[in-house]
């Protein structure tokens, strides 16, 4: 399988009020087409910063990122944006409450350069694919549940048929049953669309149920990576072992 995302020796440091924080330190990994790769770690480990670097939302201080073998840069970001899309933690924060769901989806599509006629066809197809009724189209975000909104966030991310979907703590704000449904949906989308997923989570149990491989981050560094069953059942790094022990407590 071809690599659709390559991260090579990427670093990012933030400065605030005289304090220096190395959020990501010399991280390297790759994601293959049709693969689900989990990035695990506690809050502050750098995993969300890493996801934003991959999206081009922030610029790395060092290293390189390649999307579908094209280097991510200020010059290439516009052409690469349709190839990589993101689903965030709290879906309610990503929809404008003043507009209907349909208006929001259509506007997102237009921003991605999709024509109106294509969107008229594409949106109903994706609503069906994600298990949503077309009745949500004319409703406001406040009228929908968290699970429905996260499915709509996935619809929005899929409008431009991306090669890569980044899910940053995409189920952490949902209750257990809704979370399980979203995880099943992501797995189904991998099978039906062949999309690659970078799944960011602090929850190793969730990662274990979904991901083919996992990387563990600690203080900005990728301290362990490998096939999910190997990392979760035969961890080599002490921090990974502590994460697993905490899960069992």
Q: Tens digit of pLDDT for each residue in 109-134?
A: 988 888 888 998 999 999 999 999 98
Cβ atoms within 10 A of the Cβ of 223, count?
A: 17
What is the per-residue pLDDT across 49-60, written as a single tens digit (0 to 9) for each? Answer: 999 999 999 999
Runs of H (alpha helix) within 97-215: 101-111, 116-129, 146-158, 176-193, 204-210
Q: Which of 226, 202, 207, 165 is nearest to 45 (CA)?
A: 202
Q: What is the rounded distance in angstroms from the CA atom of residue 59 to the CA atom of residue 55?
A: 9
Question: Exposed e or buried b for every residue in 4-16, given b needs 16+ CB within 10 A?
Answer: bbbbbebbbeeee
Average pLDDT, rounded, for the chain: 92
What's the whole-number mean pLDDT along residues 175-187? 90
Q: What is the rounded distance in angstroms from the CA atom of residue 66 to the CA atom of residue 85?
A: 14
Q: What is the rounded distance in angstroms from the CA atom of residue 176 to the CA atom of residue 21?
A: 34
Domain residues for the domain of 219 are 3-248
If one counts the domains in the chain, the total is 1
Q: What is the rounded distance in angstroms from the CA atom of residue 77 to the CA atom of residue 70?
A: 10
Whether the model clears a pTM of 0.75, i.e. scores above it, the answer is yes
The CATH code of the domain that includes 114 is: 3.40.50.300
């Amino acid at each position: 399988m071809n690599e659709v995302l390559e991260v090579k020796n990427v670093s990012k440091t933030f400065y605030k009020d005289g304090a220096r924080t190395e959020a990501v330190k010399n991280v390297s990994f790759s994601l293959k087409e049709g693969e689900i790769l989990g990035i695990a770690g506690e809050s502050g480990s750098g995993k969300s910063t890493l996801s934003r670097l991959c999206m081009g939302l922030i610029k790395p201080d060092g290293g390189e990122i390649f999307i579908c073998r094209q280097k991510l840069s200020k010059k290439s970001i516009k052409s690469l944006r349709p190839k990589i899309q993101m689903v965030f933690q709290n879906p309610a924060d990503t929809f404008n409450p003043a507009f209907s769901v349909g208006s929001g989806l259509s506007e997102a599509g237009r921003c991605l350069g999709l024509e109106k006629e294509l969107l008229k066809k594409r949106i109903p197809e994706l609503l069906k694919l994600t298990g949503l009724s077309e009745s949500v189209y004319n409703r406001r975000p406040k009228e929908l549940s968290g699970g429905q909104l996260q499915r709509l966030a996935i619809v929005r991310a899929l409008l431009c048929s991306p090669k890569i979907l980044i899910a940053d703590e995409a189920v952490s704000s949902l209750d257990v049953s809704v979370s399980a449904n979203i995880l099943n949906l992501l797995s189904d989308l991998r099978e039906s669309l062949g999309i690659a997923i970078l799944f960011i989570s602090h929850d190793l149990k969730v990662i274990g149920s979904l991901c083919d491989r996992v990387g563990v981050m600690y203080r900005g560094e990728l301290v362990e990576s490998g096939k999910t069953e190997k990392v979760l059942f035969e961890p080599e790094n002490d921090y990974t072992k502590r994460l697993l022990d905490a899960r069992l407590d």
